A and B are shown apart, each in its own frame.
Chain A
Amino acid sequence: MNWVRRFSRTERTLHWVNAAGFFLLLATGLILYLPRLSILVGRRPVVKDIHFWGGVGWISALALVALLGDRRGLLRTARDLERLEPSRLNVGQKINALLTAAFAVLFLASGLLLFFGERDTRFRWASTVVLHDGLLYASLALLTGHLYLALIHPATRHSLRGMTTGKVSEEWAQRHYPRWFRP
């Protein structure tokens, strides 16, 4: 089988750093949010600290990967995301990437407001917690679709290889991304 390079090392690192950060924040966030888990786990002050500093670490790590990695390649990818038409990525993948990025910005903004609002009333607004919780539901919906297509759906799950090893089979690339790959 012949292989073709699909995602650069920088893109893959960015993806997995983002995924690791998301799951850490999801786990700690659910412990803070769902009464049953709050009761089961306890230690709220510690969980809160892990959640907050995990969020700061998540955004910092993403920024660091982008800065130290292949910046020109990332810019090319960003320009590609700008066109909502099939290319190396299909339209659904582009929308997923754009919404994921927008949600990250909103998670960060509302999370910082929650953190500083606890310390200074000028930053305390009643709707911040609604936004932060709403983002949780929206990103879970997005993630469910993403995981289904990347892990379960037979026609598409080969794409996971592109995100782990960086390469996919030429035959698959040609079938799914004819505008990107022609042998």
Chain B
Amino acid sequence: MDGSQPKRYGRGLFLATVAGGLSSLAWGKPVWSRVSSALSPAEGLIPFVPKSGWRIYTVSGSLPSFDPATWRLQVSGLVEQELVLSHRELLALPRVTQVSDFHCVTGWTVKNVRWTGVRITDIFAKARPTPEANALQFISAEKPYLDYLTMEQALFHDVMLAYEMDGKPLAREHGAPVRLVIPEMYGYKNVKWLNQINLVPEAQPGYWESLGYDRDAWVGRSNGYHS
């Protein structure tokens, strides 16, 4: 102590940091998405930041592996013609490409993902669902993950079974060889490692829905979010 006024700023620094951090719960995401889109040209240069913003969420012990020789996509249930498609047969179906955003319910977003794959209608053209089929059950090779879409949702113009992402075959961590993509809904509806589609009379709760998430996972207006 040298007799001058003691500099009592310690508590202020602590409280200002806590308050600033807590306030970011209100402004963090919009600010971060602006910062990250400004940084995106240089993102390959920045180590340790998840590339393009993807995070890999799984519910089991390890990622399913994919062997093109033995892998099959089964389409069954309420269909006139059950299908068992090999990887080659899947790739031979009419091919479409789209660019859409991917939103995770936990708050992160990946913009402008380039997906290539097949439309559900092209699967239906072969399998021919019966009139009783009102919903689709999507089963993942990652047990016990599954989810459902209603027939109407599955036929949205931008729903696809994607086997390429950003110009490359779908990587193992993104659900190789094929995943469901429904950009209108949060990621947990976009079932990875898809290996079976069952046509069923009605939609049921999927993996996360049975843990309390919304069955209709509309981006920005479900799961407690309002846009």
Interface residues of A, Cβ cutoff 8 Å to B: 32-35, 38-39, 42-46, 81-85, 94-95, 98-99, 101-103, 105-106, 109-110, 113-114, 117-131, 134-135
Contacts and interface: CB of A to CB of B under 8 A. Distances in A.
A102 B14 contact: yes
Contact of A43 (B55, B62, B214): B62
A125 B29 CA distance: 9
A39 B24 contact: no
Given A35-B55, A118-B106, 11 more contacts: A38-B58, A44-B60, A85-B7, A95-B13, A99-B17, A114-B106, A121-B214, A121-B223, A128-B25, A131-B24, A134-B24
Given A102-B21, A126-B225, A38 B55 contact: yes
B124 interface: no
A121 to B, nearest CB: 3
A38 B225 CA distance: 27
Contacts of A134: 24, 28, 32
B51 A35 contact: yes
A130 B34 CA distance: 12
A124 B224 contact: yes
Interface in B52-69: 54-63
Nearest to A30: B48
CB-CB nearest 8 A-B residue pairs: A121-B224, A127-B28, A102-B17, A130-B28, A106-B21, A82-B10, A126-B107, A38-B56
B11 interface: yes
A44 B7 contact: no
Given A38-B173, A85-B7, A114-B106, A127 B212 contact: no
B156 interface: no
A98 B17 contact: yes
Given A43-B62, A84-B10, A106 B22 contact: yes
Interface of B: 6-11, 13-14, 17-18, 21-22, 24-29, 32, 48, 50-51, 54-63, 105-108, 172-173, 211-214, 223-225
Nearest to A123: B224
B106 A106 contact: no
A73 to B, nearest CB: 17
A124 B223 contact: yes
B29 A126 contact: yes
A82 B25 CA distance: 27
Contacts of B108: 129
Q: Is the interface of A mostly helix, strand, loop or mixed?
A: helix
Contacts of A117: 106, 224
Contacts of A131: 21, 24-25, 28
A85 B6 contact: yes
10 contacts: A39-B56, A81-B10, A82-B10, A84-B7, A99-B13, A102-B17, A106-B17, A106-B22, A127-B25, A128-B107
Contacts of A120: 212
A130 B14 contact: no
B215 to A, nearest CB: 13
A119 B32 contact: no
Contacts of A82: 8-11
A35 B59 contact: no
A43 B50 contact: no
A101 B56 CA distance: 30
Nearest to A42: B62
A46 B14 CA distance: 34
A171 B173 CA distance: 57
